[in-house]
Structure 1
Amino acid sequence: MSRVKDQKFTVLRDKKTVITRAGFWKIPHNSSPDEVYLKIGRYKKPQGFFDPETVDLNEPKSELTLDGEEFTNLVSFIQENYEAFKHGVKAYLPLDNPYDISVAQQIKQFLTENDKSEMLDFLLENQIVPEELEVGLAHARRTRAIDEYNLLLESDHTENKWQQWFESNSWVLGSDFVRILDERTIDTKNISDFLMESYDGFLDIVEIKRPEGGLQFWQNNLDHGNYVPHSDLIKAITQASKYIHEVEREADSIKFFQRVGGIKTIKPRCTLIYGRSCDWNADQQEAFRILNSSYHNLSIMTFDHVLERANRVLGKNC
């Protein structure tokens, strides 16, 4: 190769009537670094002797010029992909830059393959995901869920938004429940927030009331020195008790049994998630304990109780 001023050429192929050539151009700039352009062309070969590395070829059969940015991106593309592609690899994870965004996209594509069971078997059989990473991912996912929970508590969201959150994070409901059932309808008049399969294989109910919306937990005035439930809470308890009653009535229904996926219904219980308790005093905490003990098939939790339990599961200080 030879150099003429701010140009440099090389011959890629020299045939009888056609010559293929590549060349660099350096474009100076006053306010930014100089740019190097790349021109690749296939030209009609001149008659007689000529120097293909220096002469201007004015009869291109095809010609392409890449500016500085295009040329730099082409160089990066070749450096990163040529060797792998030559050996038949179209997608790979570059270990010298494992946290690039393109790597994330490739990993995501792999983990969203259609045959999930085959992919999971492959990961497990080859021990690709270390146990500590698996635990860490689960912990990080739950931590993000609790962050979202706190954000929801700061806003006045409808029950539908809370239903979506609990459906995606049923682990906060505790080990009493195995899973949320797809079915929510008890009968034509009663639709619960969640019908659950308990750890012992029976059907239970979870009912939630959004923490905002003006619903009160305790009456404003004490009764004989005692905290008593507000009428809002009594209405929610009544509704939950109604659901328990209606589920029991459907216990022998073959259609209901089929709708809930064959989960047995015997003495169902209901967990009612209602209100806030972050600002309760000691007397209110005691009154809550007494209130809960008075129901044998109903358990009341506040949204703050759920948050506290979730933080304890994650090993966080409450």
Structure 2
Amino acid sequence: MTRIEGRLGKILKKKPTVVTRAVFWKIPHNTEKEDIHLKLGRYKKPKDFHGEEEPESLHPKSELTLDQEEFRSLIDFLQENYEPFRQGVKAFIPLDRPFDSENAKQIRALFSLPNKRALIKFVLDNEVIPQELAAGLRQARRARAVLEFESMLNQNHREDVWQQWFQSNSWVLGSQFVRILDERHIDTQHISDFLMEAYDGFLDVVEIKRPEGGLTFWSSTLDHGNYVPSTDLTKAITQASRYIYEIEREANSIKFLQRVGGVKTVKPRCILVFGRSNNWNAQQAEAYRIINTSFHNLTVLTYDHVLARARCISGIDA
């Protein structure tokens, strides 16, 4: 039987038929190791003077013994949490352990509040996030998005998956765009991937085609020794040009202006994201340059061009 050296008890609460006790005891060891246990229990009072106390409940048992490690953890928990909790703080971040994984839950809870406008105002007004940290977070988020983009290029995703990625990372399309508009419908028959507000305040359009699915950029045969667009690319260019035309037709429509949030239309331009260029030769790169310069309101980018731009903006290739 374990030898006990020293015992200290206290009645925490006494009722007519039940008593709650806390008892310390020390278990001696041949080493200098300290081993103090704590027993907490709620017991039935004996009916006669010579009777013994029994746990109030056996299932579950209303008695618990904490060993040295558990007892010390309980002390730490009470010291760190009791006073803030008593004052009404249900969740807080201890500054002596700011990077514990548990603290991430509290930070996520704050930034998950539904009223984003009020949250942004609170963060800005109180300088919660220093400019250096905000810039670092933005670069880290962009670098993570680039890695996700590279991974997606090796998978066979549907076009709507790519739309979602571009929706979340519109910065890769260039600094000429301020924001993606909520509206995608040009009219009842033409639905773009993205209607954009450019930095000059006017409306532009972005159209993307998935990089997989057998779509080819170049025709399988040369024309007089020159690389020419494939039928797939020609169809995509025709569709993008049609969108530009239909947007211009809607330029004076009050209903269209309302649907796009008041963003005016003057000589709209389009970015078409189509195909891959990671295995092009020098002649194909030159042909691409020639084709692109022949358009005055349309720019064709491959997914690899977008990737190169994203790596540069995010600082990965800096």
TM range (shorter): 0.7 to 0.9
SS, match of residue 22 in structure 2: strand
How far apart in 1 are the matches of 2:261 and 2:15?
78
Q: Among the aligned pairs, what percent are the same residue?
A: 55
Structure 1 residues 5 and 221, CA, compared in 2 at 3 Å: closer, same or farther?
same
TM-score with structure 2 setting the length? 0.84
How far apart in 1 are the matches of 2:84 and 2:197?
50
Which blocks of at least 5 consecutive residues in structure 2 are unaligned?
A: 28-34
TM-score with structure 1 setting the length? 0.84
SS, match of residue 22 in structure 1: strand
Tell me the residue number matched to 1:31. Answer: none
SS, match of residue 300 in structure 1: strand
Structure 1 residues 215 and 19, CA, compared in 2 at 3 Å: closer, same or farther?
closer
Check if 1:21 corresponds to 2:38.
no
Structure 1 residues 122 and 193, CA, compared in 2 at 3 Å: closer, same or farther?
closer
Tell me the residue number matched to 1:12. Answer: 11
How far apart in 1 are the matches of 2:280 and 2:263?
38
Which blocks of at least 5 consecutive residues in structure 1 are unaligned?
A: 28-33, 51-55
Letter in 1 for 2:104: A
Structure 1 residues 224 and 7, CA, compared in 2 at 3 Å: closer, same or farther?
farther
Structure 1 residues 148 and 14, CA, compared in 2 at 3 Å: closer, same or farther?
closer
Check if 1:193 corresponds to 2:188.
no
Q: Supply the RMSD in Å over aligned alpha carbons.
A: 3.1
Deviation, structure 1 residue 68 = 4.9
Deviation, structure 1 residue 112 = 2.5
SS, match of residue 191 in structure 1: coil
Structure 1 residues 154 and 60, CA, compared in 2 at 3 Å: closer, same or farther?
closer
Tell me the residue number matched to 1:58. Answer: 53
How far apart in 2 are the matches of 1:159 and 1:59?
69
User: Aligned runs of 1:1-318 on 2, under 5 Å?
Assistant: 5=4, 8-13=7-12, 19-23=19-23, 38-44=39-45, 57-58=52-53, 64-66=62-64, 68=66, 74-317=74-317
Letter in 2 for 1:12: I
How far apart in 2 are the matches of 1:88 and 1:23?
30
SS, match of residue 62 in structure 2: strand
Conserved? CA contact 1:219–1:228, under 8 Å = yes
Conserved? CA contact 1:16–1:45, under 8 Å = no
How far apart in 1 are the matches of 2:289 and 2:138?
32
Conserved? CA contact 1:26–1:37, under 8 Å = no
Tell me the residue number matched to 2:31. Answer: none
Aligned length: 304
Structure 1 residues 7 and 295, CA, compared in 2 at 3 Å: closer, same or farther?
same
Deviation, structure 1 residue 123 = 2.6
